[in-house]
Amino acid sequence: MRVECGTVRRAWLLATTFLMVAAAGAMGVSPADAQATVQAAYAFDIPAKPIRAAMNDIVRVTGIDVVFRETPAASRLGNPVRGSLTASQAVATLLGNTGLAYRFSNPTTVEIFDPASSSVGSAPDGAISLDTIQVEGSGTLPAPYAGGQVATGGTLGVLGVRDVMDTPFTVANYTSKLIDDQNAQSIADVVKNDPAIRNVEPTNTGNANYYLIRGIQVGNGAVAFGGLFGVAPNSQSTLAGIERVEVLKGPGAFLTGLSPSGVGGVINLVPKRAGDDPLTELTTTYITDTQFGAHLDIGRRFGENKEWGVRGNLLYRDGDTPVSDQSQELMNATLGIDYKGEKLRLALDLGTQILNTDRMNNTVTLAAKAQVPRPPSPEDGWVSPWNYSDFRDNYGMISAEYDVTDNIMVYAKAGIDTTDWDQAVESGTNLQYNGDFTANAYRYLIDIERQSGETGVRASFDTGPVAHQLALSASAYTATRWSAPQPAGFPIKTSSNIYNPTFSPEPVIPTMVMGPQSETSFSSYALADTLSMLDERLQVTLGLRQQYVEVDNFNTTTGILASSYSSDALTPMVAVLVKPWERVSLYASYIEGLTAGQVVPVAYANGGDVLPPFTTKQYEAGIKVDWGTLLTTLSFFHTTQASGIANTATNTFTADGETVYRGIEFDVAGEIAPWLRILGGFVLLDAEMTQTDKGLYNGNDAPGAPPVTATLGVEWDPSFVENLTLFGRMNFTGSSYVDAGNTQKLASWTTFDFGARYTIEREGHEPIIVQANLINAFNEAYWTTYPGFNLLYSGEPRTLAISTVFKF
């Protein structure tokens, strides 16, 4: 790994800091804190499962210690544990009518045993024998982890919902509490908390959201909604109707099917559902320069057993952004209706989003062999005043689950999104070191319709000492795209400078007629089995997905089919997870990612050949430790990404390009103390191009992949001011290259974000929450890059957001 000495020193400092934090989380708590742990109520959603496994879930949520005597009764099926319960109530619910008893030997240690196996035939003094206890559940999402910023589990594609400690990959499940507390406006605002993810484009003032996950690109098309691609808005996804943002780091072709936009990872949005308690919440927001907005969130449940739920969200924001002479209008409305019966669960989600930006900053491309100029101030815009970008998305999804038996569940879901895309924008080319460049104006008129669906069955059963969780699914995704060719007079070229821009006159926007551009279809079948042994201490997951790809490309002017291809690939997954101790998981996994292949252009000697899907292969191993109130993950990954490559010697284009990403990732989340929460980590990455045209760039660093990234976020409740919370976050990104030749280098950069939140208590009324968040507090200027295209984006400007939350 080629890293500068200064970068190495910073990496060791970061590693030492995070490991010290992790060690601090392992220390014991005071008696007062222990008593608070027993009396505190926690949110549980633990299905019926073997008692030992369910107790592990209770331990992860509450932080209590458990002593479980070796007995066959540990494998008995415990009761579901759902709702808001104290630690002792959760244990009592789990053990009701199982024949087991429990007692707390101290405020944070519970002992569980079988009275029938006692030498005296009865329970020890102080033990409690139990009858059946019924507790009404309040939701189906995995409970938040200590601190509330991340959850104890999340959706893992075809495998369903999995606990973090039972997941053989690196994942992060960000909660609605984090979204609200940080006043996050988009997915990009949420993933800034993740050390493995960097936003390519400014979070809320750009064209769309693009991410680098462990150095590999992921577009907004790789964002799933309720587990389905092709439903979330195509360019950016606001969070008004979103409960959680779940992130899988690394390729996920087996878990979710072929990704429409990048293989660096999968981001899944979990829609909001109505809770048992009525909710009416109004949030008013001011964002610099002069953006004002309001967000109304209403939830109700109906029926004798509250089986019907309705959750509606309406967000509107408009005004000037921190970028000079730029304005933006955002409207988002969502409606979620769900039914929770004894065996049947149904849901319908509908949404519409309008995102209109005037004078949107765009990309600029470096001239060949030119050195990278210093970035302009983040609030400076270089595009002409007439630039605009308008997006409108209408989307919806319907889903159903039915419990055929206690051990068999069938499900089906389908969704659709339509995107209207209207732009007149400038992008820059031939950028020189002094800031000179050529502004090129383009006109885009595009419509996209995406449809997707999945159906399957999940079953659990035992074969002797081995428990099985079987999953079988079939999925499909289609995307149809219409566009208009560039009209006469476009592109418009103007000589300009990023520090002192020259604006082109406003062009006449002609009427344009769209024609079909492409039709893409993905379909697949997946089969998986998770084999659990030794009370789930050993888990082996095996899976296969057969993927089919069909693509038709058209001439947008004539509508004539220009090229067509179809291909298929078999995508495996293998994972092993071992729990040598109650709160420790060791895992190793192999998984692949797929990118649709292509038809070789006719300019090459093999023109017309159909390339197979490009395969990305990832090996990962790691250790997860739940310290009680602090969750840490240390992972080692090796990812090989295939790509197309032009061979100038033979004038052929083949699928023989290759880049290797090797790295170490450390993540930490939770509470160091009840008044101090932490979220962050670091990634050490070695990204090397290993197969390039005639070996010209073999051994060079992959563009856009910094050797070090680190994030550290801290929330503090100071004891000297009641109801006050202070927040701070540091994001460090190491230097990286723009070009494959490693001659154009971006400097490293560090940004700092700060926030404060104050709760105003009102007797007899719901409290009012006032908060302020300052992003990029020191207005750090920096470049980001879109790998492989030599594109540069200007960084995110300093932004102040102030909000007030009223509950009725």
pLDDT of residue 127: 43
Instruction: Please give the Cα distance from 171 to 168 (Å, whole number).
Output: 9
**CATH number of the domain that residue 229 is part of:** 2.170.130.10
- Report if residue 249 sits inside a domain: yes
Kindly indicate the confidence band of residue 71, based on its pLDDT and cuts at 50, 70 and 90. low
- Closest to 803 (Cα-Cα) out of 771, 777, 773: 771
List pLDDT tens digits, range 320-342.
Answer: 999 988 999 999 999 999 999 98
Q: Is the peptide bond before 491 cis (omega within 30 degrees of 0)?
A: yes
Co-location of 373 and 394 in the same domain:
yes
- Report if residue 95 sits inside a domain: yes
- List CB contacts of 310: < 8 A, sequence separation 6 or more: 274, 298, 299, 300, 301, 302, 335, 336, 337
Residue tagged 């004038």 (tokens): 651
Can you point out the beta strands (E) in 109-258?
Answer: 109-113, 128-129, 153-155, 161-163, 171-174, 197-199, 210-213, 216-219, 223-225, 242-249
- Report if residue 22 sits inside a domain: no
List pLDDT tens digits, range 716-768.
Answer: 999 999 999 999 999 999 999 998 889 999 999 999 999 999 999 888 888 99
- Closest to 176 (Cα-Cα) out of 263, 341, 295: 295
Higher pLDDT, 256 or 124: 256
Co-location of 115 and 159 in the same domain:
no
Name the domain boundary from 228, 251, 271: 271
Name the domain boundary from 271, 298, 325: 271
Is residue 44's pLDDT more than 90? no
Apex CA 542: angle with CA 140 and CA 640, to 5°? 100
% of residues, the chain, pLDDT over 90: 57
| CA distances (Å), origin 208, targets 216, 258, 292, 367, 389 | 17, 21, 21, 24, 10
Residue tagged 């038709």 (tokens): 552
Range in 68-72, 421-425, 693-697 the model is least confident about:
68-72
- Report if residue 718 sits inside a domain: yes
Co-location of 330 and 421 in the same domain:
yes
Kindly indicate the confidence band of residue 469, based on its pLDDT and cuts at 50, 70 and 90. very high
567 close to 610: Cβ distance less than 8 angstroms = yes
Instruction: Please give the Cα distance from 474 to 470 (Å, whole number).
Output: 14
Instruction: Please give the Cα distance from 271 to 193 (Å, whole number).
Output: 20
* Tally of CB atoms within 10 A around 243: 18
Co-location of 366 and 463 in the same domain:
yes
Apex CA 66: angle with CA 140 and CA 178, to 5°? 40
Highest mean pLDDT among 19-33, 491-505, 600-614: 491-505
Query: How many residues can be counted in the chain?
Result: 808
- Report if residue 146 sits inside a domain: no
pLDDT of residue 507: 85
- Closest to 51 (Cα-Cα) out of 100, 124, 107: 100
Range in 483-492, 655-664, 687-696 the model is least confident about:
483-492
Average pLDDT over residues 254-278: 91
Name the domain boundary from 271, 290, 318: 271
pLDDT of residue 642: 86
Co-location of 325 and 474 in the same domain:
yes
| Model pTM score | 0.83
Co-location of 659 and 711 in the same domain:
yes
| CA distances (Å), origin 351, targets 255, 272, 299, 315, 393 | 26, 12, 16, 11, 8
Higher pLDDT, 128 or 294: 294
Using DSSP, state whether 187 is helix, strand or coil: helix
Average pLDDT over residues 657-684: 94
Joined together, the tokens standing for residue 533 give 């042994």
pLDDT of residue 8: 40
Co-location of 115 and 171 in the same domain:
no
Q: 517 is in which domain, residue-wise?
A: 279-807
Kindly indicate the confidence band of residue 592, based on its pLDDT and cuts at 50, 70 and 90. very high
- Report if residue 516 sits inside a domain: yes
φ/ψ of 790, rounded to 5, equals 60, 25
Is residue 130's pLDDT more than 70? no
Instruction: Please give the Cα distance from 171 to 591 (Å, whole number).
Output: 14
* Tally of CB atoms within 10 A around 263: 27
Instruction: Please give the Cα distance from 206 to 363 (Å, whole number).
Output: 10
Average pLDDT over residues 485-491: 80
446 close to 482: Cβ distance less than 8 angstroms = yes
**CATH number of the domain that residue 653 is part of:** 2.40.170.20
Co-location of 286 and 263 in the same domain:
no
Mean pLDDT of the chain: 86
Any idea what DSSP says for residue 183? T
Angle between helices 31-39 and 87-95 (to 10 degrees): 50
Co-location of 58 and 77 in the same domain:
yes
| CA distances (Å), origin 288, targets 183, 395, 649 | 14, 30, 55
Domain count, the chain: 3
- Report if residue 18 sits inside a domain: no
248 close to 171: Cβ distance less than 8 angstroms = yes
Co-location of 438 and 531 in the same domain:
yes
**CATH number of the domain that residue 112 is part of:** 3.55.50.30
pLDDT of residue 84: 75
Co-location of 205 and 345 in the same domain:
no
Co-location of 491 and 548 in the same domain:
yes
Instruction: Please give the Cα distance from 75 to 466 (Å, whole number).
Output: 12
- Closest to 164 (Cα-Cα) out of 650, 549, 603, 670: 670
- Report if residue 191 sits inside a domain: yes
Kindly indicate the confidence band of residue 158, based on its pLDDT and cuts at 50, 70 and 90. very high
